[in-house]
Amino acid sequence: MSAMLRVGLVSISDRASQGVYEDKGIPALLDWLKAAVSNPIEDLTRLIPDDQSTIEATLRQLVDEEGCHLVLTTGGTGPAPRDVTPEATLAVADKIMPGFGEQMRQISLHYVPTAILSRQVGVIRGQALILNLPGQPKAIKETLEGVRGDAGQVVVPGIFAAIPYCIDLIGGPYIETDEQIIKAFRPKSALKPQT
């Protein structure tokens, strides 16, 4: 039996948090995680406004009090004045993991030239990985899975391929995935023996 994975899902939007429109980020993340991850998942969801102190407090609470191994945010990563998700994420970080933001932009540039406006970051806080994902469900899926060629082969790896091993390294549970959706990469020495 696989270990339980505790995941915090945070949608950051002034309008969605006020009920002006329906949040689509959290449902898209949940659907993808339930399809891609073999472990049982306990999800803790939050829908909050674009407010830096609120975002910081939410991230701290999900990691420090709720014990999440992985926290995924969606929204608030552009250049607009109210987009402060990266600033809030960096403010609660113990370590910055720049490769995640670089890879997300690389993936998104295959689809839209405005991907260079994205400011997503990845950080570690305690024993949790916190990642800022795009706001649109289509872009969330692309970022997690990567870019595929015409024959379905992975041309540019998605960021989720590296997440299980990262969580191993910071003391979290061993995450297994459905390889049809995303193949987790680990060095041979880090693979769990097959039972």
Question: Which residue bears the tokens 């309008």?
Answer: 15
- 70-74 vs 128-133, strand pairing mode: parallel
What CATH number does domain 5-187 carry, 3.30.70.890, 3.40.1280.10, 3.40.980.10, 3.20.20.70? 3.40.980.10
The pTM is what? 0.95
Looking at residue 135, what is its pLDDT?
Answer: 87
- Residue 26: phi, psi to the nearest 5? -65, -50
pLDDT of residue 16: 85
Domain locations in the chain as residue ranges: 5-187
Residue 185's pLDDT is 94
CA triplet 151, 155, 159: central angle to 5 degrees? 125
Per-residue pLDDT tens digits for 80-126: 999 999 999 999 999 999 999 999 999 999 999 999 999 999 999 99
Q: Along the chain (195 residues), what's the average pLDDT of each consecutive run of 10 residues? A: 92 86 91 96 96 98 98 95 97 98 96 95 98 93 94 92 97 95 92 75
pLDDT of residue 27: 94
What is the full DSSP assignment across 68-134? -SEEEEES--SSSTT--HHHHHHHT-SEE-HHHHHHHHHHHHTT-GGGGG----EEEETTEEEEEEP
For 70, half-sphere exposure in the C-beta direction (CA atoms, 13 angstrom radius) is 26
Tokens describing residue 45: 């969801």
Do the Cβ atoms of 174 and 2 come closer than 8 Å?
yes
- Residue 19: the pLDDT is 80
Please tell me the predicted confidence (pLDDT) of residue 57. 98
The two beta strands, 128-133 and 122-125, are antiparallel
pLDDT at 195: 58
Instruction: Tell me what pLDDT residue 14 has.
Output: 86
Q: First-to-last CA distance in the chain?
A: 10
For residue 1, what pLDDT is reported? 66
Q: What is the pLDDT at residue 141?
A: 94
